[in-house]
Amino acid sequence: MATAAINLEPLERLVTFARDAGLPRDGMVNFLSGGYVPLPKQILFHAAARECDRRADDSPTKAALGGARGGGKSNATLAQMALDDCQRQPELKCLFIRQIGKAARESFEDLRPKVLSRVKHKYVSSPTPTVEFSNGSRIIVGHFKNEKDIDNYLGLEYDVIGIEEATQLSAKKERQLATCNRTSKETWRPRMYYTFNPGGIGHAHIKQTFIEPYRRGAQADTRFVFATFRDNPFLNPEYVRNLNALIGWERRAWRDGDWDIAAGQFFTTWRHDIHVRRLKQLPAHWPVWGALDYGFTHPTVVYLLTEFDGKTFVWDEYHAARRLVSQNAEGIKAMLERHGVYPTRLREFVAGPDVFAQRGDQQGKTIADQYAETGIYLTPANADRINGAARVLKLLGDVDAGIAPRLVISDRCARLIECLPLMQHDPRRPEDVLKVDVDEDGNGGDDPYDGVRYGLMSNQSEGALI
């Protein structure tokens, strides 16, 4: 009786892809022998997890798989812990944590037969769900219904921590949980795995930690693999249909993995790939001007702007907190001189109204007076918030509606690039941007937006502002 031939070509291609991606051979063997055949994006995540083995300055301790829903994130995280990490390192203690205990337990119990069907293990469902392996390694399933639940894990030691839907955890609690990621094993380097979608209380923190370094091509302690439902051919068609039926910010965030979108977002026409560029040399004949938003506890933010061919360019950024006027002046001048610009070349240097009202020293001099003593002469900015917001919207354009953008932002302006897509409507005044303060660590806030708004309102070469 003839036996049908098995087509091994797709598997061979996958093994070749894994090798080229940097996943060691024994890792792929662990996965395949466990009955888990990773998808290409999952392979990239597993390769990033293996990079955590290296003890080098440029090797990561955090690996993430995320972007949008349906990308196979949970399967990959559990497979990495159970089929690779726990199999090659005895006595490993892993924490698999997700918001809301019931969801974490159900998710884990759904995943367990899929990922661990061919691996000998013992599963204890209560009081704490735990998977135990014959070499003493184990995975503990944790949860946090409220942020204070994270305190239950603080002070404990976990060789590996996996955080499911990490954007549901605040920056403070994520950092506290990270203090538990340590080991006494000489043959193991502690690491954390993350899965996430855009949105949630930790959106800005996760974006800053993973997404921004990924975009800049400057990943050091982190590795991020972007995946959406399009990378998972095994999704049922009903789920895909539901994703395609989403509208507005949910469609861009949950279906497309757009990290520059959030519920209530003011600048919905912002597109990182459209508005952000790597700008090289500032032409000597282009007009230039500056804009400053003053702060001490809040940061002082300064932008160098220019215009050419109907477009406004935000060329560079200065951002610093808790510095005296004299210190800021040095940093501002250094930023300008990077581009061959000196304060005397600026058409004008506008600043918010507080620098002209606030008395900043014992002699009663205003902040503006103190800057003048350093050779930086400030003039009052147009601080009209409603028209300022409209001005930014107008210059952003709307590529979906066929309106070309006329605002270009240098990739040097990291704080502004992070800030603009996070700005939201003020619920009491929807035509205005909601005021946002920096957090306890000095991150976030709307200071970059205010600074660039002053600068864009200063450019009136087109006549009417809106």
Q: CATH number, domain at 105? A: 3.40.50.300
What mean pLDDT is predicted for residues 166-174?
88
Domain end, chosen from 255, 290, 325, is at 255
Alpha-carbon distance of 178 to 169, in angstroms, equals 12
Alpha-carbon distance of 440 to 346, in angstroms, equals 35
Residue 43 near residue 171, CB atoms below 8 Å: no
pLDDT of residue 220 exceeding 60, the answer is yes
Domain-located, residue 463: no
CA 373 to each of CA 331, 378, 455: distance values in angstroms, whole numbers, following the listed order = 15, 11, 22
Domain-located, residue 82: yes
Residues 426, 296, single domain; the answer is yes
DSSP structure class, residue 438: B
Return the closest-CA partner of residue 318 out of 117, 228, 452. 452
Residues 305, 160, single domain; the answer is no
Phi then psi dihedrals of residue 30, to 5 deg: -60, -45
Domain-located, residue 265: no
182-187 CB contacts, 8 Å cutoff, 24+ apart: 182/157, 182/158, 183/157, 183/159, 184/157, 185/89, 185/91, 185/92, 185/159, 187/89
Q: What is the pLDDT of residue 429?
A: 82
Residues 130, 251, single domain; the answer is yes
Alpha-carbon distance of 30 to 100, in angstroms, equals 31
Residues 169, 301, single domain; the answer is no
Alpha-carbon distance of 65 to 394, in angstroms, equals 35
The gap from C-alpha 289 to its chain's centroid, in whole angstroms, comes to 30
Domain end, chosen from 196, 225, 255, is at 255
Which CATH number belongs to the domain containing residue 387 in this structure? 3.30.420.280
Residues 123, 233, single domain; the answer is yes
Residue of higher predicted confidence among 365 and 428: 365
Return the closest-CA partner of residue 77 out of 165, 180, 198, 181. 165
Residue of higher predicted confidence among 40 and 144: 40
Domain-located, residue 398: yes
CA 127 to each of CA 96, 101, 138, 314: distance values in angstroms, whole numbers, following the listed order = 15, 12, 15, 56
Domain end, chosen from 197, 222, 255, is at 255
Residues 242, 323, single domain; the answer is no
Sign of the four-CA dihedral 18, 19, 21, 22: positive
Task: Note the pLDDT tens digit of each residue in 236-279.
Answer: 999 999 999 887 777 888 899 888 876 678 898 999 999 999 99
Domain-located, residue 263: no
Phi then psi dihedrals of residue 134, to 5 deg: -65, -25
Phi then psi dihedrals of residue 101, to 5 deg: -60, -45
CA angle 372, 333, 409 (to 5 degrees): 115
Residues 133, 219, single domain; the answer is yes
Q: Return the H-helix or E-strand segment holding 226.
A: strand 222-227
Query: CB atoms < 10 A from the CB of 213, how many?
Result: 16
Task: Note the pLDDT tens digit of each residue in 135-166.
Answer: 999 999 988 877 788 888 988 999 999 999 89
Residues 249, 283, single domain; the answer is no
Residues 230, 354, single domain; the answer is no
Residues 196, 290, single domain; the answer is no
Residues 145, 203, single domain; the answer is yes
Q: What is the pLDDT of residue 311?
A: 96
- Three-class DSSP category at 76: helix
Least confident of 23-32, 220-229, 357-366, 456-465: 456-465
Task: Note the pLDDT tens digit of each residue in 359-369.
Answer: 766 677 999 99
User: Structural domain of residue 82, as residue ranges?
Assistant: 9-255
Alpha-carbon distance of 157 to 412, in angstroms, equals 39
Domain count for the chain: 2
Which residue is associated with the tokens 């090289």?
Answer: 280
Cis check: omega of the bond before 40, within 30 degrees of 0: no
Domain-located, residue 278: yes
Structure token pair of residue 259: 């990290």
Residues 333, 444, single domain; the answer is yes
Return the closest-CA partner of residue 286 out of 304, 274, 269. 304
pLDDT of residue 428 exceeding 80, the answer is no
